[in-house]
Amino acid sequence: MERTVYVNGDYVPEREAKISVFDRGFLFADGVYEVTSVLNGKLVDFAGHMRRLRRSLDELQMRMPCSEEELLQIHRKLVEVNAVAEGLVYMQITRGAADRDFTYPESATPTLVLFTQARPVIASPVAERGARVVTVEDLRWGRRDIKTVQLLYPSMAKMIAKGQGVDDAWLVQDGKITEGTSNNTYIVTADGTIVTRDLSHDILPGITRAAVLNCVRELQMKVEERAFSVEEALSAREAFSTSATGFVCPVVEIDGTVLGDGKPGPVARRLRQIYIEESLKSAI
């Protein structure tokens, strides 16, 4: 079935969707995006994604293309017309079309595009067996806290990982893990402390990260938000990542070193289960 996508006010079959060749998203990667997961036809943590969207837009002096309520209605309508029971909604916002110039145009109208992907998110073969990752130097720009559409380096890093026969790359700067190609990263130390990098310009403030850290604190598990080294990760008891596309995903191997018994660890499995249960309850 051909998908219906949303482009600047219209719901159209995907083959008919068009934007300008002068769109600054195309010419300058001058745009931001959000990915919201869908469970039982409902949106997971929509409010969190809206908060981060506003922040990304503010940082780039871009305006909201329409109200938050309208964005919610567009998300819901696309989920409905495309019959997405489980999957993802991608929302892309660029500064719009303007004659090519490095300065931001004064009066471009933002481009707003949304599309869906229907696919299993809960039942995940990778989460079942645990992901294998390799470390790759983090060569992205210095404002990774803004969720921009410039995803070429994460894409290259993912290809390096695929080329080595593993699932993903964990990115490294000055010997410390920043995050995965499209997820936040965690280790569990020998004394059971969950460690994840603290928020700064170096990483994206994950919406799943925030929700999972809330669970962790409610469960009174030990947690430290700080940078951790590759060596620390290699000797960790277990590891995992979080994202809207993977929820909580156990990691069982880093750079060929098997963690623990090579199976998804109890902390990651428990947090995955709790996160899914909570998301099913709170989705709107």
- Residue whose CB is less far from ligand PDD, 149 or 230: 149
Catalytic residue, candidates 18, 42, 147, 222: 147
- Residue whose CB is less far from ligand PDD, 111 or 243: 243
Instruction: Give me the least distance between CB of 157 and ligand PDD, in Å please.
Output: 10
- Residue whose CB is less far from ligand PDD, 144 or 269: 144
- Residue whose CB is less far from ligand PDD, 98 or 213: 213
- Residue whose CB is less far from ligand PDD, 108 or 268: 268
- Residue whose CB is less far from ligand PDD, 127 or 244: 244
Cα 64 from Cα 53, distance rounded (Å): 9
Q: Is 222 noted as a catalytic residue in this protein?
A: no
Instruction: Give me the least distance between CB of 246 and ligand PDD, in Å please.
Output: 8
The contacts of residue 259 (CB under 8 Å, 6+ apart) are 236, 237, 238, 239, 251, 252, 253, 265
Half-sphere exposure of 193 (CA within 13 A, CB side): 12
Q: Which parts of this chain interact with ligand PDD (CB under 6 A)?
A: 35, 179, 182-184, 204, 206-209, 242-245
Instruction: Give me the least distance between CB of 143 and ligand PDD, in Å please.
Output: 12
Instruction: Give me the least distance between CB of 191 and ligand PDD, in Å please.
Output: 26
Cα 31 from Cα 9, distance rounded (Å): 18
Instruction: Give me the least distance between CB of 114 and ligand PDD, in Å please.
Output: 14
Instruction: Give me the least distance between CB of 80 and ligand PDD, in Å please.
Output: 22
Beta carbons within 10 angstroms of residue 234's beta carbon: 17
- Catalytic positions, written as ranges: 147
